[in-house]
Structure 1
Amino acid sequence: MAAPTLGPTARILRLLDLLQSRPTWSGTELAERLGVTTRSVRRDVERLRELGYPVRAEHGAGGGYQLGTGRRLPPLLLDDDEAVAVAVCLRLAAGGTVVGLGEAAVRTLAKLDQVLPARLRSQVEAIHRSTVTLDGPTPSVDGTTLLTIARAIRGNERITFSYNAPRGPSERRVEPYRLVATGRRWYLLAFDLDRDDWRTFRLDRMEEVESRGWRFRPREAPDAAEYVRRAISQAPYDHVARVRIAAPKDAVERVVPASVGTVAADGPRHAILEAGGSDLRWMALHLGALPWDIEVLDPPELLDVMRGMAARLTRAASAAAGPEG
């Protein structure tokens, strides 16, 4: 039975599908499957190579066309089951189950979700809802919320949502700029239209996120990672401490999470830590637990608390040692 006649683009995609389905094809076999001549097969193979697919051709007995490993990643051709599997895995990675892949997973998932047929999207959603991940107390983030925001950022579209802040719920209209993952918590850096300023939002506190197609012209924005880091480590607190630490910046960053404070180099052997807190006593306790010598630069009240704590600890140590004799 002759193969149906395909247009050039459809034939290229069909050729790619065949090459992915088994290790080796002869030119004659491909010609029969595609309904063309072996000369057309050679021409189509060259078009695949131009697109970045490393198609090898080996002559002689046992030879044929093979899809090899290339230097860059060309477009992938996925069947329904493969697309669903990739989308499910990306959703799990976006939720933080794969360390270091959260942001990349969201970007990739946004691209895939844009072209995923509705029938496959429903399968992905069903699998995702029936999957339980053993997580800690970290708040979960809805996958649909992530995708809606990611697509809005990509298309420069405003979003609206309800935000459950500690001081009470509110309705927000923003221009989304960047998604930032820190640990296993997601934040959005956006320009708040009603407050006429940049703001950060925790995704697990966002509900009813919608993008209605209102486009905006991107404005000059702060560095997303640095802005979010400062916002979550300083802005919510009553006190902000500045401490000079006798250790290199990279060593301090390995001990102090980005969600706790910001670290800046102060020469090759010292670093400046800025961190916020609502209780000076707890701040003194945590800073005193760092494995290096520290110098408190600000605020002065933190020094007073540390002196009082040091005196109490000294008395407790002396009482535990007992009278000398």
Structure 2
Amino acid sequence: MAPRKTERILNLTICLLVTRNYLPKSRIREIVEGYHDLTDQAFERTFERDKEELRRLGIPLQVGSFDAMFDDEPGYRIERTDFELPPIELDAEEAAVVGVAARSWRHTSVAESTRSALAKLRAAGIEPDTSQLSALEPNVTANEPAFEPLWSAVLDRARVTFDYRGRGTRTLEPWGLTSNKGRWYVVGHDTDRNAVRMFKLSRIITLPRRVSRDGAYEVPADLDLRRLARSLAPEEAHATALVAVRPGKAPGVRRRGRPLDADRLATLEIRWPNGFEVVEVGYADPAFIGEELAGYAADVVVLEPAELRAAVIERLSAVSGTRSTPRRYREPVVGVAPRQEQQS
């Protein structure tokens, strides 16, 4: 929530929590900072949204008459016994896990919820010692733009649509997010294919957009997200491709591949652009890696195998709407390794 909204919600909560009687809206408007300067219509809209926000946060509102003689104007209050947390008992290991989770989510909007959870734990008399957990701290980052809208959709069970690199527009009922080797994936029911699918967040090229109301679908009760993700993961690489990569481009290819050593480069009889680095990349599905490499356009040149090279050229030609032959470079390197300073 925005700072002003957060402050207003907090003021409203305190107001309704400390009152003994039901407060009418007119009185709430006078007491709560944040409502004073609003017009009548703006106050009505804002107050209704704030009530829904309190309910969404799990804060129960009681509605009743503030005057026993008249029941024409409802009043509101929060019953302390309904609001207070039940006793929380965590052992040392459980408290440590909470601390680890708090530290691991610091790069995302979930950090706000984490701070709120820790505040409630501390209010209950439990102090997770996060300062002693640096050795156990997981390096979980979520920098993909698609992460936050997908995370929100998972929580609300809202259907989303997005463009996926090389696969067009997809509509998904997201069941959960999982991370493997620093890469995030979303798993769910692909309504376009009527099948369970897993999508890599870094390949989602548009922000996921909601196309349904909240609670539009049910997540399988027996879902084991990690086991399902493992079953949907691509096969282990059993073939290799040689590709030339422009400096500073195609980070996914560089991360998975390994540069060819000078001895291997010296044996190549195929040409590649000056300044490009030649790397060897493993793959299992020729169609999948073909789509990926074609997505990098002129930043990646496939050298081997010939079948994959031809498939990528054909795909790029189809995109450009022209038929073309492999590009000829004016300054090719023929079987000679680039100088050391060009292999950075």
Flag whether TM exceeds 0.5 (same fold).
Answer: no
TM-score scaled by length of structure 1: 0.32
Higher relative contact order at CA 8 Å, sep ≥6: structure 1 or structure 2?
2
TM-score scaled by length of structure 2: 0.31
